[in-house]
Structure 1
Amino acid sequence: MTRHLRPRRDGGMRSAVVDSWHRSASAGVRPDDATAPITLPEDALRDQREAHPLARVFPLLDDVLGHAARDCGAVMAVSDADGQLLWVCGTPTTLRKAEAIGFVEGSNWDERLAGTNAPGLALALDQPVSIVRDEHFRSAVQGWSCAAAPIHDPGTHALLGVLDITGGDQIVVPQTMAMIRAAARMAELELARDLLTRQTPAPAPAAPGTHLVLEGLGRTDALLTVEGAGGTPRTLRLSRRHSEILLLLASAPQGLSGDELAVLLYADEGGGSSTLRAELNRLRHLLGEDLLASRPYRLTAQVTGDWLTVEALLATGDLRAAMRAYGGPVLPRSTAPGVTRLRENLESQLRGALLRSCEADLMSQWTRSTWGADDYEMWQAQRRAVGAASPMLPLIDGQLARLDRELGV
């Protein structure tokens, strides 16, 4: 028996929870699934725990938070970055209750496998979250409430896993979330201290140069952060034209002549060389004399762009990470020919990979976005991918019917 998205008893459902329900349903989770799958059998669990960086701080977490969880009839759990529970601690009575919903060591609570829950949502959003009773996607879990916070590697900032407390309604009070966040932060500080003590002296690297971080996905005007060179990072909101110029130069590290840049910037012949030179002079004044070279025009610093990151992830075949990094079309309101080409090429690559993937939850992310809501072919592909028993079918069929009406089919 299936059910569909419905409001909580208090009359509303948070948007983050609605999004998670969509991802859960699209991934094939059934609301009547009794337990979460075991993805780490006992022998593999032991090896995974011993090798995992969080093993160094688990005793601290248990001491700081585990005892408090036991005292209030809850369980404390620590997962890895894939959602697999490496440690689950509580009183024997509470652990038996948690076992009934599959909340045990070695089980996987990624929302694509276990439905909406705090550890899975904290992993998906990379931020602290709480889930109250009927916000859980699976009926079996709706007698529980939970709160979780991510833990990051202090050296690389990579997500290591999640710290979670699961129990009754007392879990989702502000004080509990504050304790969980503080414990996660304490674990990161302990990992940082451990890293410092284990590091051996190495030759000092050359002084880092300036690094430009450019964000243009889903933005009318790009954001530019200038880092490094011993100074405090500064973030600038660029004008529309300066956004276009920097995106084009970042995408052409070998540089562009004035004529080439003009062709890529101006849709007609109205953009004269004097207008372009004036824009480049203003941009040079904004960035600093040493960051924008001429003959050809090029950026002299290392550049990172969010659209370049998506391209790189697609090139490695990591579609899921590419979707997480894709914040929308490149400068969606720009009509500059070069930017339009960048935007269309990236969208075509990502969309094509999605259509080939048969990953229903990723297709759902696309069709629920402003840029993908009217993508008829993607809705059709998503319908094929979810299967005949999916609770997503009424939503998908409704959207296809809407598009049929609008297209006059």
Structure 2
Amino acid sequence: MATGHLAGGTAGENGSLAGLRAEVAESWHRSAAAGVRADVSEAPITLPADQLQDYRAAHPLAAVFPLLDDILGQAARDTGAVMAVSDAGGQLLWVCGASAALRGAESIGFVEGSNWDERLAGTNAPGLALQLDRPAVVLGAEHFRSSVQAWSCAAAPIHDPSTAGLLGVLDVTGGSEVALPQTMAMVRAAARMAESELAREAGARRRTEPPMRGTHVQIEALGRAEALVTVWSEGVSSPPLRLSRRHSEVLVLLAGADRGLTGDELALLLYDEDGGSSTLRAEVNRLRGLLGGELLLSRPYRLAADLAADWLAVEARAASGDVRRALRGYRGPLLPQSIAPGVAALRDGVHGAVRQAVLNSGAADLMSTWTRSAWGADDYEMWVAQRASLTPGSPMRALVDGQLARLDREFG
């Protein structure tokens, strides 16, 4: 087992963020804002031993853990490392590896039932992969907690192939061997293999069930100048389609109108000034040609499909109190470059709902994520609320005070 700091971006001896990769520095900020202490040696246990076995037996990843253990787990044992599989909340469900490595992992609390969400355990690869929803590597001194800085880890998320929802994270933790590109490649390949196996099993189940009927549409428009649309028909999906800005506006407006819109209503929401009925009809006809006549109906204009949209999901999560997932799904304002009046109103509504949910949460790490975004950097009220949520000795206090001073200078 390698000890000491490994190659790559590292923190200075005094804990400075200088030299850290940007995504790691952001994670340090989130960890500090959540109140994680760098001098705490172990991660917390959030899944007690008496609940662990039943919980993981019912987890979807239980079906592919034997495959992961046979492939990546054996490689971890052979190299003196540890393989772990977590759920979508960061709880480690399975940890396996060489005996000496497992004993070392116990000293930092890297054990089954412990939680490595970065809000609880500080910056680490499983937690970062959960936060970013993509593969992540954290090397040596890039870890937030001092006790973990003798280790390095590489992790990749595993998704449900049917819904694209996050199921958990696959991780390899060890010494200098984890810094090699081959390790990350193996972890990513094993995660994709698990998803393929889950898809194969889901396909086998579907062959014994009636096929999904009707048309289903998924729209992604948060943080995008142009919407991305995927259409499923009888269970088969089309390639994602990127719409023009005007077609994106039309689709977003219709997605928000359950009963449909008349031509006059759609025109008022779409144009600053009277765009003319012929212009609107031409735009809708072109969009119908792209999506299919059976999907976009007239009199009134409406979508004849089951609909999923990223901004609607974010609003629902914020309304239900699931602020963390709402903020994670909020990739930016809805069609941010659109000046269509109806889109602007929808954009303001979604943005305001997420912002207020973050404010009401009182969670310093969520407020920190907001103020470090492009759309929240100048949000004075959020900075003030973030400052009020910090403990007196928080290392984040100086940063927050500095940003409030900047806004006072710039805006008075």
TM-score w.r.t. the length of structure 2 is 0.89
Among candidates 132, 137, 148, match of residue 144 of structure 2: 137
Tell whether the 8 Å contact from 2:267 to 2:275 is kept in structure 1 after alignment: yes
Per-residue deviation, residues 104-149 of structure 1 (Å, max 9, x unmatched): 2221111110011111112222222211101111111111111122
- Code of the residue aligned with 1:79 in structure 2: it is S
| 2:307 aligned with 1:303 | yes
CA distance in 2 between partners of 1:56 and 1:289 (Å): 41
Q: Partner residue of 1:294?
A: 298
Q: Which amino acid aligns with 1:271?
A: G
Please state how far the C-alpha of 1:150 moved relative to its aligned partner.
2.3
Contact 1:147 1:164 in 2 (8 A): yes
**1:33 shift after superposition:** 1.7
Q: CA deviation at 1:388?
A: 1.8
Task: Give the distance between the partners of 1:257 and 1:72, measured in 2 at CA.
Answer: 66
**Cα pair 2:271 2:341 within 8 Å, conserved:** yes
Q: 1:358 aligns with which of 362, 382, 398?
A: 362
Which of the numbers 200, 217, 220 marks the counterpart of 1:215? Answer: 220
Q: Which residue of 2 aligns with 1:185?
A: 192
Moved more, 179-188 or 229-238: 229-238
Instruction: Please list, as runs of the form range in 1=range in 2, the aligned pairs for 1:116-131 lying within 5 A after superposition.
Output: 116-131=123-138
CA shift for structure 1 position 99: 1.9
Q: CA deviation at 1:252?
A: 0.6
Greater shift, 292-301 or 350-359, is seen at: 292-301
1:6 corresponding residue in structure 2: 17
Q: Deviations over 1:38-97 (max 9, x none)?
A: 222322223333333333443333332223222322222222222122222233332222
Report the equivalent of 1:103: 110
Q: Per the alignment, in what secondary structure is the counterpart of residue 314 of structure 1?
A: helix
Q: Which amino acid aligns with 2:79?
A: C
Letter in 2 for 1:309: A
Superposition map of 1:6-405 within 5 A: 6-7=17-18, 12-192=19-199, 201-202=208-209, 204-205=210-211, 208-228=213-233, 233-268=238-273, 270-405=274-409
CA distance in 1, matches of 2:279, 2:167: 50
Q: Is the 8 A contact 1:87 1:105 kept in 2?
A: yes
- Structure 2 unaligned residues grouped into runs of 5+: 1-12
Indicate how the Cα distance of structure 1 residues 265 and 193 shifts in structure 2: closer, same or farther if over 3 A, else same.
Answer: closer
CA-CA distance at 1:294 after TM superposition: 2.0
Query: Please, which moves more after superposition, 254-263 or 301-310?
Result: 301-310
Contact residue 5 and residue 21 of structure 1 kept, 8 A? no
Q: C-alpha deviations, 1:344-386, integer Å up to 9, x for none?
A: 1111111111111111111112111111111000011111123
Q: Which amino acid aligns with 2:82?
A: V
Give how far 1:323 is off: 1.0
Q: Give me the identity figure in percent.
A: 65
Secondary structure of the 2:26 match is helix
Deviation at 1:154, TM superposition (A): 4.2
Judge which range, 224-233 or 238-247, deviates more: 224-233
Map of 1:407 onto structure 2: 411
RMSD: 2.5
Unaligned runs of 5+ in 1: none
Q: Are the aligned partners of 2:215 and 2:233 in contact in 1 as well (CA < 8 Å)?
A: yes
**Distance apart, 1:21 and its partner CA:** 1.4
Name the aligned partner's letter for residue 308 of structure 1.
L
| 1:169–1:82 CA distance, 2 compared to 1 (3 A) | same
TM-score (structure 1 length as normaliser) = 0.89
> How many residue pairs align between the two structures?
400
Amino acid at match of 1:61: L
Within 2, Cα distance between the matches of 1:271 and 1:315? 35
